């Protein structure tokens, strides 16, 4: 039995984001699958109640203040006899101890690849912290072959030190009754007409304005009303999106419901006619897979991290060509045989993905490192004796 520490704070602080969901699902499934090791979970020090977990899981409050972390975390890791330390948030809060090996999950290198789309403070911190954490880690876990290539090419990490373990859509993303979904959406958000859905954040690299341009262009030729629904908080540059809709004469056809809780996100997928994803770059790109798991046809930009998992299940368009996107919106809505094929392929593409498999593959890496560590320590003892 070994003592493993996971920084579980993103499971609370960032729940609903890719990193937060990854951390939450990983620890939930490790609690079910691993009956051997002892886990020590770093937890927010703000009084947040720990998750209900088996007795071999222990919670330790830890500040997110970088100065305090740098002073307290390495000392705590050594004092607890931690034998493996896993940092799931790109290494932004990695303060390794000399006493144990460290694994870092790097989800993407967006601040390197598309720096103009990232807040200045976050970009500065990422560019400074992540390369150092990557060099200090014994292994890097990442979520796609695309991300692996970036980590190898940009950070210079040897390929043999990078392991690709795919995340998955959560289990409640399943096909549902569209009519029932729309009834619920009408009562909660006033959405009653058929609609195209986009979900996945409103960061500039998500390319949502281009989707709005294409939608406004395509809808002129449709013989019935179709809405475009875009959930998410309208903050920062996203505050301009309603003004863009007004300028294009589409203000009544584009719905911004604001923040939508997870239960209603599933309902939004289940009630949609089509899911459109115009993103310019992704480390993985989970929303298209969530839509596919709900049995919804998907059109997406040819982001390699999305297409490597989608396996030909989505219709691809040029995300920087408004006409291409508009044509694909129309095709995805009205070509019934194509829609049926896309739905079937989408369900087949997402079926092999599960958080159980993600946790099993991650646990295999843990055991590999712990086994190597035990072997090395055994050799040292033999030499000393």
Q: What is the pLDDT of residues 217-249, one digit of tens each?
A: 999 999 999 999 999 989 888 899 999 999 999
Residues 94, 31 share a domain: yes
Residues facing residue 162 across a β-bridge: 140
Residues 106, 119 share a domain: yes
Rounded Cα gap, residues 303 and 277, in angstroms: 10
Contacts of 50 (CB under 8 A, 6+ apart): 41, 43, 59
How much of the chain is helix, strand and coil, in % rounded to 5? 50, 15, 35
Rounded Cα gap, residues 352 and 80, in angstroms: 38
Residues 56, 151 share a domain: yes
- Give how far Cα 51 sits from Cα of 27, 140, 362, Å: 10, 26, 21
Pairing of strands 84-87, 102-105: parallel
CB 147 within 8 A of CB 284: yes
Tens of pLDDT, residues 284-332: 888 999 999 999 999 999 988 888 888 789 999 999 999 999 999 999 9
Contacts of 192 (CB under 8 A, 6+ apart): 182, 185, 186
Q: Which of 121, 120, 94, 123 is nearest to 109 (CA)?
A: 123
Q: Which of 174, 5, 203 is nearest to 86 (CA)?
A: 5
Residues 345, 240 share a domain: yes
CB 40 within 8 A of CB 58: yes
Rounded Cα gap, residues 73 and 79, in angstroms: 10
Contacts of 147 (CB under 8 A, 6+ apart): 106, 107, 108, 109, 164, 283, 284, 305
Q: Which of 93, 132, 128 is nearest to 111 (CA)?
A: 128
For residue 308, the domain's CATH number is 3.40.50.2000
Is 173 within the bounds of a domain? Answer: no
Residues 331, 374 share a domain: no
pLDDT in tens, the chain (385 residues): 899 999 999 999 888 788 999 999 999 999 999 999 999 999 999 989 999 999 999 999 998 888 899 899 999 999 999 999 999 999 998 888 888 999 999 999 999 999 998 889 999 999 999 999 999 999 999 999 999 999 999 999 999 999 999 999 999 999 999 999 999 999 999 998 999 999 988 989 999 999 999 999 999 999 999 999 999 989 888 899 999 999 999 999 999 999 998 889 999 999 999 999 999 988 888 899 999 999 999 999 998 888 888 878 999 999 999 999 999 999 999 999 999 999 999 999 999 999 999 999 999 999 999 997 554 454 434 444 4
Is 276 within the bounds of a domain? Answer: yes
In degrees to the nearest 10, what's the CA dihedral of 146, 148, 151, 153?
-70
Query: What's the pLDDT at 262?
Result: 83
Rounded Cα gap, residues 345 and 312, in angstroms: 8
Overall domain count for the chain: 2
Residues 34, 182 share a domain: no
Rounded Cα gap, residues 235 and 238, in angstroms: 5
Residues 317, 207 share a domain: yes
Is 41 within the bounds of a domain? Answer: yes
Residues 236, 205 share a domain: yes
Rounded Cα gap, residues 309 and 145, in angstroms: 10
Is 140 within the bounds of a domain? Answer: yes
Residues facing residue 255 across a β-bridge: 229
Query: What's the pLDDT at 373?
Result: 58
Which residue range forms the structural domain that includes residue 360?
Answer: 3-168+354-384
Q: Which of 101, 104, 164 is nearest to 129 (CA)?
A: 104
Residues 108, 151 share a domain: yes
Residues 118, 190 share a domain: no
Residues 210, 108 share a domain: no
Is 245 within the bounds of a domain? Answer: yes
Residues 69, 17 share a domain: yes
Rounded Cα gap, residues 311 and 345, in angstroms: 8
* pTM, 2 dp: 0.88
Enumerate the H helices of 53-164 as residue ranges.
Answer: 66-79, 110-113, 120-136, 145-155
Is 49 within the bounds of a domain? Answer: yes
Is 267 within the bounds of a domain? Answer: yes
Q: Which helix (H) or strand (E) holds 350?
A: helix 336-350
């Amino acid at each position: 039995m070994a003592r493993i520490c996971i920084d579980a704070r993103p499971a609370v602080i960032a729940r609903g984001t890719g990193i937060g969901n990854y951390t939450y699902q990983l620890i939930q499934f490790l609690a079910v699958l691993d009956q051997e090791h002892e886990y020590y979970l770093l937890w927010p020090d703000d009084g947040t109640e720990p998750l209900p977990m088996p007795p071999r899981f222990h919670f330790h409050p830890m500040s997110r203040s970088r100065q305090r972390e740098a002073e307290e975390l390495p000392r705590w890791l050594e004092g607890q006899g931690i034998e493996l330390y896993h940092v799931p948030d790109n290494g932004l809060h990695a303060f390794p101890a000399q006493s144990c090996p460290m694994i870092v999950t790097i989800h993407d290198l967006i601040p390197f690849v598309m720096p103009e789309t990232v807040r200045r403070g976050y970009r500065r911190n990422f560019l400074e912290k992540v390369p150092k954490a990557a060099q200090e880690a014994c292994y890097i876990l990442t979520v796609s072959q695309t991300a692996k290539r970036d980590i190898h090419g940009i950070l210079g990490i040897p390929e043999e030190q990078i392991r690709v373990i795919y995340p998955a859509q959560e289990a409640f993303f399943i096909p549902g009754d569209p009519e029932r979904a729309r009834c619920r959406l009408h009562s909660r958000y006033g959405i009653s007409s058929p609609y195209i859905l986009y979900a996945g954040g409103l960061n500039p690299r998500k390319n949502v304005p281009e989707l709005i341009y294409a939608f406004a262009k395509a809808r002129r030729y449709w013989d019935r009303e179709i809405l475009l629904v875009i959930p998410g908080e309208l903050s920062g540059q996203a505050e301009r999106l309603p003004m863009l809709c007004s300028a294009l004469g589409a203000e009544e056809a584009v719905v911004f419901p604001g923040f939508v809780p997870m239960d209603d996100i599933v309902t939004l997928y289940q009630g949609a006619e089509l899911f459109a994803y115009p993103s310019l770059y992704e480390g993985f790109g989970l929303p298209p897979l969530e839509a596919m798991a709900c049995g919804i046809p998907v059109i997406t930009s040819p982001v390699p991290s999305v297409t490597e998992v989608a396996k030909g299940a989505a219709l691809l368009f040029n995300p920087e060509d408004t006409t291409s996107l508009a044509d694909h919106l129309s095709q995805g809505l009205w070509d019934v045989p194509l829609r049926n094929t896309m739905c079937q392929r989408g369900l087949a593409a997402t079926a092999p993905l599960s958080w159980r498999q993600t946790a099993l593959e991650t646990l295999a890496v843990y055991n590999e490192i712990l086994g190597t560590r035990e072997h090395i320590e055994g050799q040292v003892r033999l030499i000393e004796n």
